[in-house]
Structure 1
Amino acid sequence: MTSSPTPSTRIRSRSERPGAVPAALAACLLAALPRLAAAHGETVDVLPEQPGLRLGAGAALSALHADEELPSRRMSGYLLNGSVGTDRRGGQLEHGVIEAAARLSSQFGAYAAIGKHGSEAPHTEGAWLQWQPGPDWQLTLGRQKPSLGAVITGAGHMDRFALMPLAKQASFGEDWIDDGLQASWRHPLGSGDVGLDVGLWRGHAWPGGYGRPLGFSAHAQWQQGDWTLDGFFLHAEPARRGTKIILAGADHSHGAADCDAALTQVACFGGRSQVLGASVRWLSHQLPLSASAAVLWHRDRGSLASRNGGGAYAGDTVGGWVEGVWTLHSQWELGVRLEHLRSRQTLVGAGASLVASELQLAAYRPADRQSLMLGWLPSDKVSVRLEVGRESVSGRHARYASLRAVVAVDDVVRGARALAGR
């Protein structure tokens, strides 16, 4: 990023061009991630099929080695909420969740989930009520993950790979969890299925912010045979979306800092924030292979200011990833993920250089990551994965190795009854 010492300064960030297993067994293994990972995501098919209660619990435990702090922890050069995130080095509880899903009748159900990261305080990850007026429709009210598609929603916590995708960090901070109302429709079409989701959101979760509630989202899905295609759009108009200037504290947060009147240790954005995304997944029913790809475009237009100045801000951040998984044997899989992220940002106004310096926007460089994973799945409730990778963020490079174990119990009640009946 370059700047001039003039009172009204144009700040433009650098932007660079991105540079044999039986078929039934293969299909089973490729879907072998615990159901908890899906339930921890979107609200489709989370409730029991019949009236009753389902209790689930799961944890991802990780031990990550790197010679230095991973640069993706801070994501310097990208306009986010300013949190330093969590240092993933060493052994820790990467993610834990306890959930309860109840079907009260054929039409009504409820869900709640409590999550925890490392030594941080537990937080509510889901709390919603659902009404299903017909076989194709459902209406969900409360805290939830808006529908983005399984590829994007499922990437990150409880995923096959150890780290949150760079593009997802840049677009949503991490996972997008918000309070709102979402209407969903699913219907067979020919030999496939189509789905639509439309939501209204409180809008405090990143990339929204305080001041103007009711963000809007729309998602469409088409699924047929081995293929699933998803696309979504998010629109928010935050008036007081804060970015912390002093990078302190590592608490896990899905929201934005609020801007006080004095702009104390915070820069404030107001305007329009939009995210567009698309993904595709190929899950072969005849070969021991699966592949997926996703792209996200985060677009900001508005004003950005701190106590030292501000101006008109425009940011366009585009990134994505591709990954493939090969089932080597009944209990083994090999996967690879390739990621890339780039951004173009401008800030024009009095004191723009100071604001850009406070937010470390000049540290911007295109980011990328390459990951190779070997997984062992001894049962449908336990998976152990070894991963090695390399990432480059903000001009800093780091290599890492990770050993992770994901343990999940899909239905605690059913499991306990089964044990008692032995």
Structure 2
Amino acid sequence: MLLKPLTLAALLAATFGAQAADADLAAIRAQIDEMKKTYEQRIAALEKKLAEAEAQPQATASAAKTATTVAENRATAVPASAGQVSSFNPEVSLILQGQYKNMKNVAERGITGFWPAGGHDHGNGTIEGINKRGFSVDHTELVFSANVDPNWRAQAIIAALDGQAEVEEAWFQSLGLGHGLGLKGGRFRSGIGYLNEQHPHMWDFADAPLMYQAMFGTEGSYANDGVQLKWLAPMPMFLELGAEFGRGANFPGTDRNKNGSGGGALFAHIGDDVGVSNSWRAGLSWLKTSARERETHFTDIGGLEAQGVFTGGSSTWIADFVWKWAPNGNPAYNNFKFQAEYFQRREQGDLTCKDENSVGNACAAEPTSTYRTRQSGWYTQAVYQFNPNWRAGLRYEQLDSGTRDFGDNAALLAVDSYKPKKTSAMVDYSWSEFSRVRLQYAQDKSMLGITDNQWTLQYIMSLGAHGAHKF
């Protein structure tokens, strides 16, 4: 009799258990449906916000265009003096540079076998004034730059040293010619070579390579008053062609009071990326200038000082190559740069030998004869940044005074053939991109019979807005 009640109880328990299980499954299904609805609503809301955000720039551009039109109308209707509707607000920066230098006291410091290029000595016209021993302040550069309007940009650089100032650069540049064309006019650093366009505060070493000092002076660049036209080719890799025409007043040319161009240049640069971490650029440049009564000093066969005056043409070829490495394209922590340049210069014309100071030298009769030279030089350097603040670099350079034909004046002048050399090592520390201190050692053999072991401690400080440096 007990078996029936037990069986009935078991059946009832099983029935209620099945119903409870069905209820749980139904609740889970209801929760899933609710979650689907919720996510679908959220996705729809996000898609709506995205559509609104995409439409916003168009509305902003339309409003900006309307505002611009209104502003232009107001500017036309109201004289500038009556209402301050606009203001001149350029980017301004100030570059501070100075150094302590320990080296030999060499009279008429120069590069043996090469025509002295002078330099930025503000009147003295000799290299020795730049290479000051002990403490000194280098050029302080005040930079103004801004977009003039949507079509043009302009920049002016004023350099001051020891109570005197000069306009180093003052140019305007196109922004919207199209078809890869760019136009620059005014006073600017030429696009030839690699280092030429860089200001001293951008250099990886405290001084310019001997090659640039021989070509253009210790400022290490050729600047010109004129126009420059560039074309950037529409292709995957970098290809730039350029041409310049100008006054040609700076060394190796001279200032001549004439119409037309006194100097010109052509250059081509090509480059590309190699993977994510590497990039390179190579270039070939040609500079043509003319000189009239370009002066220098020689020693006659008797050891007396003589003056040489050259009138003729000068042609310079420059080949450059740069390779840069940065892991995954990020140079902030580690990077490496290798660069090398080679130049060859040929000059041809007439050389007049003079007794400028009436010392009774062999040139008293002021004879004029033909003058031809072919000289060359190169440098290589490598700089490695091994953490975000520290860099170290090495540079080796060598020149060749080459072939120099003085014509009949060769019998009157004492001329040395020489291959100047210099080796430099540097380490620098940067607190930020605006502040840097550098220690450099150089063994300088650029002067015949002299080995000058030089130590330089340099600081560079940048204040204000400062544009990114070129490749």
Instruction: Judge same fold: TM > 0.5, yes or no.
Output: yes
Contact kept? 1:313, 1:345, Cα under 8 Å: no
Distance in structure 1 (CA, Å) of the matches to 2:171 and 2:397: 33
**TM-superposed deviation, 1:154:** 2.8
Identify the residue that residue 184 of structure 2 maps to in structure 1. Answer: 140
Q: What are the Cα deviations for residues 39-86 of structure 1, in whole angstroms up to 9, with x where unaligned?
A: xxxxxxxxxxxx962112102211111143398x32242113464322
Q: What are the Cα deviations for residues 261-311 of structure 1, in whole angstroms up to 9, with x where unaligned?
A: xxxx85322222011101111111226321111111121111111333231
Contact kept? 2:99, 2:456, Cα under 8 Å: yes
Q: Pick from 290, 293, 300: which aligns with 2:347?
A: 300
Give the direction of change, closer, same or farther, for the CA distance of 1:69–1:267 in structure 2 (3 Å limit): closer
Give the direction of change, closer, same or farther, for the CA distance of 1:81–1:387 in structure 2 (3 Å limit): closer
**TM-superposed deviation, 1:194:** 1.4
Number of aligned residue pairs: 338
Contact kept? 2:381, 2:393, Cα under 8 Å: yes
Q: Does 1:161 align with 2:209?
A: no
* Aligned AA (2:451): H
Give the direction of change, closer, same or farther, for the CA distance of 1:120–1:208 in structure 2 (3 Å limit): farther
Q: Does 1:283 align with 2:294?
A: no
Q: Pick from 172, 186, 202: which aligns with 2:232?
A: 186
Q: Secondary structure at the match of 2:195?
A: helix
Give the direction of change, closer, same or farther, for the CA distance of 1:350–1:222 in structure 2 (3 Å limit): closer
* Aligned AA (1:403): L
Identify the residue that residue 201 of structure 1 maps to in structure 2. Answer: 246
Contact kept? 1:144, 1:179, Cα under 8 Å: yes
Contact kept? 1:151, 1:293, Cα under 8 Å: no
Q: Pick from 404, 407, 410: which aligns with 2:461?
A: 407
Distance in structure 2 (CA, Å) of the matches to 1:104 and 1:334: 40
Q: Where do 5+ consecutive residues of structure 1 fail to align?
A: 1-50, 248-264, 414-422
Q: Does 1:68 align with 2:95?
A: no
**TM-superposed deviation, 1:165:** 1.1
Where does 1:67-146 land on structure 2 (aligned, <5 Å)?
Answer: 67-69=104-106, 73-81=109-117, 83-85=125-127, 86-117=130-161, 119=162, 121-132=164-175, 133-134=177-178, 136-146=180-190
Instruction: Give the number of the structure whose residues are more often strand, by fraction.
Output: 1
Contact kept? 2:117, 2:216, Cα under 8 Å: no
**TM-superposed deviation, 1:136:** 2.0
Task: Report runs of 4+ in structure 1 exceeding 4 Å deviation.
Answer: 155-158
**TM-superposed deviation, 1:138:** 1.7
Where does 1:219-230 land on structure 2 (aligned, <5 Å)?
Answer: 219-225=267-273, 226-230=279-283
Greater Rg, structure 1 or structure 2? 2
Contact kept? 1:52, 1:104, Cα under 8 Å: no
Q: Secondary structure at the match of 2:288?
A: strand
Distance in structure 2 (CA, Å) of the matches to 1:398 and 1:164: 16
**TM-superposed deviation, 1:113:** 0.8
* Aligned AA (1:215): G
Distance in structure 1 (CA, Å) of the matches to 2:464 and 2:284: 29
Q: What are the Cα deviations for residues 367-394 of structure 1, in whole angstroms up to 9, with x where unaligned?
A: 0110111110111100111111101023
Q: Pick from 263, 266, 271: which aligns with 1:218?
A: 266
**TM-superposed deviation, 1:155:** 7.4
Q: Percent identity?
A: 21
Larger RCO (CA under 8 A, 6+ residues apart):
1
Identify the residue that residue 393 of structure 1 maps to in structure 2. Answer: 446
Contact kept? 2:193, 2:341, Cα under 8 Å: no
Distance in structure 2 (CA, Å) of the matches to 1:243 and 1:58: 33
| TM-score (ref. length: structure 2) | 0.66
Give the direction of change, closer, same or farther, for the CA distance of 1:94–1:170 in structure 2 (3 Å limit): same
Q: Pick from 313, 331, 335: which aligns with 1:272?
A: 313
Distance in structure 2 (CA, Å) of the matches to 1:288 and 1:112: 31
Distance in structure 1 (CA, Å) of the matches to 2:200 and 2:353: 32
Identify the residue that residue 432 of structure 2 maps to in structure 1. Answer: 379
Give the direction of change, closer, same or farther, for the CA distance of 1:55–1:366 in structure 2 (3 Å limit): same
Give the direction of change, closer, same or farther, for the CA distance of 1:341–1:266 in structure 2 (3 Å limit): same
Q: What are the Cα deviations for residues 332-362 of structure 1, in whole angstroms up to 9, with x where unaligned?
A: 01111111111124334444443x34xxxx2
* Aligned AA (1:338): Y
* Aligned AA (2:432): S
Contact kept? 2:423, 2:444, Cα under 8 Å: yes
Identify the residue that residue 328 of structure 1 maps to in structure 2. Answer: 386
Provide the alpha-carbon RMSD of the alignment: 2.6
Q: Pick from 85, 88, 93: which aligns with 1:56?
A: 93
Give the direction of change, closer, same or farther, for the CA distance of 1:339–1:53 in structure 2 (3 Å limit): same
Q: Secondary structure at the match of 1:104?
A: strand
* Aligned AA (2:152): F
Give the direction of change, closer, same or farther, for the CA distance of 1:284–1:412 in structure 2 (3 Å limit): closer
Distance in structure 1 (CA, Å) of the matches to 2:212 and 2:293: 18
Q: Secondary structure at the match of 1:122?
A: strand
Distance in structure 2 (CA, Å) of the matches to 1:65 and 1:78: 24
Identify the residue that residue 29 of structure 1 maps to in structure 2. Answer: none
Instruction: Give the number of the structure whose residues are more often helix, by fraction.
Output: 2
Q: Secondary structure at the match of 2:114?
A: coil
Distance in structure 2 (CA, Å) of the matches to 1:155 and 1:179: 17
* Aligned AA (1:201): G
Deviates more, 1:62-71 or 1:141-150: 62-71
Q: Pick from 340, 364, 368: which aligns with 2:421?
A: 368
Contact kept? 2:249, 2:262, Cα under 8 Å: no
Contact kept? 1:280, 1:294, Cα under 8 Å: yes
Give the direction of change, closer, same or farther, for the CA distance of 1:412–1:177 in structure 2 (3 Å limit): closer
Contact kept? 1:81, 1:242, Cα under 8 Å: no
* Aligned AA (1:198): A
